[in-house]
Amino acid sequence: METQEDINQLADAIYRDKVLRARKLTMDEKLSDGFEMFDLSCRLMADGVRYQLGLTDEQEVWRAVAKRLSIVRKMDEASIYTRVTHE
């Protein structure tokens, strides 16, 4: 059975590996990956909204996503929450 220390060491090793791989990417590859992650995030948000609100109309789903993003943007601009950074 793995201990919490084993799990932490594995998580650290995985993180280091990801960082090293990311450093080897070209700027074009990094930009492309960023667009892919943004697209995936948007689709996941839409799926969550669709499920939570029981929506079936795609336009309604994307309006609800836009509304939620607007709320987050306003919260960010008002400094209502702070981002957590990992060191």
pTM (predicted TM-score) = 0.65
pLDDT tens digits for range 38-80: 999 999 999 999 999 999 999 999 999 999 999 989 988 888 7
Token pair recorded at residue 44? 């996941």
66 vs 73: CA distance, rounded Å: 10
Which has the closest alpha carbon to 63: 74, 53, 76, 73? 53
How crowded is residue 64: how many other Cβ atoms within 10 Å of its Cβ? 18
Q: Is the pLDDT of residue 13 over 80?
A: yes
The angle at the Cα of 28, spanning 36 to 62, to the nearest 5 degrees, equals: 25
Q: Where are the domains of the chain?
A: 26-77
